[in-house]
A and B are shown apart, each in its own frame.
Chain A
Amino acid sequence: MTDRYDVILVGAGHNGLVCAAYLAKAGRKVLVLDASDSPGGAAATREFAPGYSVSSCAQWLHQLHPRVCRDLELERHGLAWAARDIASISLDAGGQHLELLGASVEGPGVSAEDQQAYRTFHGRTARYVKLLARVFESRPPRLVESNLADRITLLKLGLGLKLLGRDDMSDLMRIVLTNMYDLMEEHFDSPQLKALLSFNSVLGSSMGPRTPNTVFGYLYQRLGEAFGHTGVSQVKGGMGALGEALAASARARGVTLRLGSRVASIDMFNGRAGGVTLASGEQLGAAVVVSNADPVTTFEQLVGYRNMETGMARRVSHVRCSGAAAKLHLALDGLPGFTGLDKAQLGQRLVIAPDMNYIERAFNAVKYGEYSASPAMDISIPTLHDPTGAPAGGHVLSAIVQFAPAEPAGGWEAASAPGGETHRQHFTRLVLDQLERYAPGIREQVVASQLLTPSDLEREYGMKGGHWHHGELALDQVLMMRPFPGASQYASGLDGLYLCGAGAHPGGGVMGLAGSNAAREIIRRGAAA
């Protein structure tokens, strides 16, 4: 051990880098290690075909916390927007699209009643989102024996609820435990509108519109509004550019960043985390270890169940983290034509989820370890706003595709799909079939394609199960129960080890709050950390 660090961070995902930068700013000597060759974790840009590159995991920036952006001077370090205030368009095969941005919803299929109902609904839920945002901006309170800071957070939550007023409060209490399907049926007529909002609620999770917790998921996906975002935005150079900006900011604050360095284990010394061993065998010591890797990877693989007590091992083994979102990247030789969309509209967020039952059926498959025959999709054509991602004249289509299991029976490469195709080929074809319905002729434009299944995402980005949130975002796995009871407030339950990634409070999405809250908690604990 040559250099001894105050803090070693496992993972240079956006949360890891945010955490590192804040810690370094507070004077800590910080080393960040990542298995990958580029910073940012799932905030990444990769070349997937010669000359074609794409935001290979997360594609929309819509939750990044402005405080993080400001404190770490990300724009000074290179973060730039290719497009902002992007609307969501729910596609219709016949061209009767629906467009949604903020409180407004437009489209031939939307009645004036629905528009009014949506405005009201949006306004009311915006207040709930604001309340959640306030709770998410600090560490979660503890389940029991809360101290003053925790009481204040609880108070904020309680007071926040109170300030909502009696009607809102009872409404929130009522809906937060219900499901989107029922909530949508209660408010709207337009199948497209109901489906678009439902789709947002299940993004990244293994849930259908009728699954409990989806209302919470919906509010969560709207958090960005409370942080000042409207719609979604696209980062210039792809999400990887955010990773680079964060890395530059962290370095400027004195953080040492070592990429291409896989951590094999987090090492415990007499019951306390005190360093890591790299896959190369190199050992590094630190007073505190912080993991940006997901909780299951952190505890099961890096710490090892043998190094923790039974109750904790058991809780880790019960964390639900089966991802069900896949990613499809298409390299196109020209701009695709979507029925009824003009060029400006093509640059928006395009969603294929015509009605709620469509999503529910797509979800049914994954319950049984199968992929959807007709998947729902969240599509971007980033090259419209940022042509650097494709050769001249070419375009990239990138889609979050739901739902797909980690592994279908026999695995993705098993040639057991109809027609002797592999599951991977078959699923790709099914996705293209859907796209073809909305963008006739697109199949002929495809030069190359890449399908990233949840297991590919797990392999590529080290996130267990390929899960968007590093662990399902459900009411039993949020706040003081995130990632599991006994490990909360960014402390892991093991001395000297902290969590700072999406698996910690508040959850996933490119937001930076888990990282900045964790840093604040470690700084607050001072020498006792």
Chain B
Amino acid sequence: MKANSDETMMLRTPFHSRVAAACELNDWGTWKGYTTPRSYTDVELEYFAIRSTTGVFDLSPMNKYRITGPDAEAYLNRMVTRDVSKIRVGRVGYTVWCNDAGQVMDDGTIFHLGENDYRLCAFARAVDWMHWSALGFDVQIVDESDEVAALAVQGPTSCATLLAMGLTGLEELKPFGLASFPFEGETLTVSRTGFTGDLGYELWIVPDKAELLWDRLFAAGKPHIIKPFGSDALDLARIEAGFLQAGVDFVPAESAVRNGRSRSPYELGLEWLVDMDKPVFNGRKALQRERAEGSRYRFAMLDVDGNKPAQHSFILKDGKKVGTVTSAAWCPTAKSNVAFAQLEMPHGAVGEKLVAEIYYQRELQWTRVLAPCTVIAAPVFNPPRRRAVPPGQF
């Protein structure tokens, strides 16, 4: 992954040659300095590949940190909010981590690769924080973001595609499970994880073999209607599945400049990730205080009337502003108009009726609608195939 200095300052992922060839729209965005497609051909078609066949997303720019050593588990347990000892070898766990003020710095996944051997995948760069956190622990921390290329392979036919590629036995892999396969003299690591809420896998490989992996995957997936997808389609899928996006639905605490702009896990609806039985972890003291004194905000998923996405809307109660929308989309599969909102307490209890103040434009004409909405309890998209072992044939 080198910057090609004669053309651009942007970094290129190990899949770039293949991604660029497929990216008909040349709709490039930037992700941590890497040039990555927002869309390849058509956002809706890409989205439907995720939901109906197989979609492929290049997630190589993701920050990946390898943590090894006798204190690896204790180290992670002090850093993140959940109990890492419960993530067994060969399993992956989703988690958040906080600063001392109990404010979420980031969310990510912990891969328990082996005894005293973990990989942390993070949205934000965290190498400084990870090294500070290592004071007093016998661990080695290596930033292997550039040493591991990664693809998300998501959708109902993803398992069939990967089986066709020769990953025998993959159908037995449980959600959040890890498996490895030989691949051209290297190891291909596969996790049953993803950011789409669908059946899906993530593939991890050394950069040298990235292009070959892409080619094999697309050859095997051809009969299963495989398509690459960009960040726009992913955004649609993850909103439908109820996943928060760091930097969008919350400001990573250590990059928030203004006072009060960051959020605690409680304020993001992530209390299930916080294990107060652990005697020490970053943010514990502040979170204990928050539990006693109450939170400032509540995260709510809203079902919004009509079909106008409530992008950037104010949320009103009796005409008074009580919150704002952080993510919103009309979700095609669930056929519902979903919004994620940050509401001031005590608002946001399931069932509460609110109003979204939506502005939209048609042919240069701006219109304002006051759309009634309801706080819902769970994401609108959560198919059984996401969990089935083995996943069904599609």
**Stretch in A133-141, A301-309, A390-398 touching the partner:** A301-309
| Interchain CB contact under 8 A, B135 and A314 | yes
Q: Pick from A269, A271, A307, A311: contact of B100, CB below 8 A.
A: A311
| Interchain CB contact under 8 A, B285 and A309 | yes
Among A304, A314, A495, chain B packs the most CB atoms within 10 A around the CB of: A314
How far apart are B78's CB and chain A's nearest CB, in angstroms? 6
**Chain B 251-294 interface 0/1 with A at a Cβ cutoff of 8 Å (1 = within):** 00000000000000000000000000001111111000000000
In the assembled complex, which residues on chain B have CB atoms less than 8 Å from the CB atom of A312? 100
| Interchain CB contact under 8 A, B99 and A317 | no
Residues of chain A from 251 to 301 with CB closer than 8 A to chain B in the complex: 268-271, 300
Interfacial residues, chain A to chain B (CB-CB below 8 A): 268-271, 300, 304-314, 317, 486, 495
| Interchain CB contact under 8 A, B137 and A310 | no
| Interchain CB contact under 8 A, A271 and B285 | yes
| Interchain CB contact under 8 A, A486 and B100 | yes
How far apart are B115's CB and chain A's nearest CB, in angstroms? 20
In the assembled complex, which residues on chain B have CB atoms less than 8 Å from the CB atom of A311? 99-101, 132, 282
In the assembled complex, which residues on chain A have CB atoms less than 8 Å from the CB atom of B101? 311
B79 within 8 A of A: yes
B360 within 8 A of A: no
B136 within 8 A of A: yes
In the assembled complex, which residues on chain A have CB atoms less than 8 Å from the CB atom of B183? none
Residues of chain B from 126 to 142 with CB closer than 8 A to chain A in the complex: 129, 132-133, 135-137
Among A268, A270, A300, A311, chain B packs the most CB atoms within 10 A around the CB of: A311
Q: Pick from A270, A310, A314, A317: contact of B79, CB below 8 A.
A: A310
- Would you list 11 pairs from A and B whose C-beta atoms are within 8 A, ordered by A residue? A268-B280, A269-B279, A271-B280, A304-B136, A305-B135, A306-B137, A307-B280, A309-B280, A311-B99, A314-B135, A486-B100
In the assembled complex, which residues on chain A have CB atoms less than 8 Å from the CB atom of B78? 306, 309-310
| Interchain CB contact under 8 A, A310 and B129 | yes
Shortest beta-carbon contacts, A-B, top 10 = A305-B136, A311-B100, A310-B133, A305-B135, A314-B132, A309-B100, A313-B135, A309-B282, A306-B136, A270-B279
Report how far A289 CA is from B29 CA in the complex, Å: 55
Report how far A309 CA is from B101 CA in the complex, Å: 10
| Interchain CB contact under 8 A, B280 and A313 | no
B74 within 8 A of A: yes
Report how far A41 CA is from B351 CA in the complex, Å: 64
| Interchain CB contact under 8 A, B136 and A313 | yes
**Chain B 72-107 interface 0/1 with A at a Cβ cutoff of 8 Å (1 = within):** 001000110000000000000000000111000000
In the assembled complex, which residues on chain A have CB atoms less than 8 Å from the CB atom of B79? 310
Report how far A317 CA is from B129 CA in the complex, Å: 14
The chain A residue sitting closest to B254, CB to CB, is: A311
| Interchain CB contact under 8 A, B279 and A268 | yes
In the assembled complex, which residues on chain A have CB atoms less than 8 Å from the CB atom of B282? 309-311
In the assembled complex, which residues on chain A have CB atoms less than 8 Å from the CB atom of B279? 268-271, 307
In the assembled complex, which residues on chain B have CB atoms less than 8 Å from the CB atom of A307? 279-280
Residues of chain B from 47 to 75 with CB closer than 8 A to chain A in the complex: 71, 74
How far apart are A498's CB and chain B's nearest CB, in angstroms? 16
In the assembled complex, which residues on chain B have CB atoms less than 8 Å from the CB atom of A304? 136
How far apart are A310's CB and chain B's nearest CB, in angstroms? 4
Report how far A486 CA is from B99 CA in the complex, Å: 13
Report how far A313 CA is from B133 CA in the complex, Å: 8
How far apart are A436's CB and chain B's nearest CB, in angstroms? 47
In the assembled complex, which residues on chain B have CB atoms less than 8 Å from the CB atom of A271? 279-280, 284-285
Report how far A268 CA is from B281 CA in the complex, Å: 13
In the assembled complex, which residues on chain A have CB atoms less than 8 Å from the CB atom of B285? 271, 309, 495
Report how far A486 CA is from B283 CA in the complex, Å: 13
Report how far A304 CA is from B75 CA in the complex, Å: 13
Q: Pick from A268, A270, A310, A486: contact of B132, CB below 8 A.
A: A310
How far apart are B260's CB and chain A's nearest CB, in angstroms? 12
Among A268, A306, A310, A313, chain B packs the most CB atoms within 10 A around the CB of: A310
How far apart are B131's CB and chain A's nearest CB, in angstroms? 10
In the assembled complex, which residues on chain B have CB atoms less than 8 Å from the CB atom of A486? 100
How far apart are A263's CB and chain B's nearest CB, in angstroms? 18
Among B100, B283, B284, chain A packs the most CB atoms within 10 A around the CB of: B100
Report how far A305 CA is from B99 CA in the complex, Å: 15
Report how far A300 CA is from B136 CA in the complex, Å: 8
In the assembled complex, which residues on chain A have CB atoms less than 8 Å from the CB atom of B137? 305-306
| Interchain CB contact under 8 A, A309 and B132 | no
In the assembled complex, which residues on chain A have CB atoms less than 8 Å from the CB atom of B71? 306
In the assembled complex, which residues on chain A have CB atoms less than 8 Å from the CB atom of B100? 309-312, 486
How far apart are B267's CB and chain A's nearest CB, in angstroms? 19
Report how far A270 CA is from B100 CA in the complex, Å: 17
| Interchain CB contact under 8 A, A309 and B135 | no
The chain A residue sitting closest to B136, CB to CB, is: A305
Report how far A106 CA is from B306 CA in the complex, Å: 92
The chain A residue sitting closest to B133, CB to CB, is: A310
In the assembled complex, which residues on chain B have CB atoms less than 8 Å from the CB atom of A310? 78-79, 99-100, 129, 132-133, 135, 282
**Chain B 336-350 interface 0/1 with A at a Cβ cutoff of 8 Å (1 = within):** 000000000000000
Report how far A285 CA is from B101 CA in the complex, Å: 29
| Interchain CB contact under 8 A, B136 and A309 | no
How far apart are A15's CB and chain B's nearest CB, in angstroms? 26
The chain B residue sitting closest to A270, CB to CB, is: B279
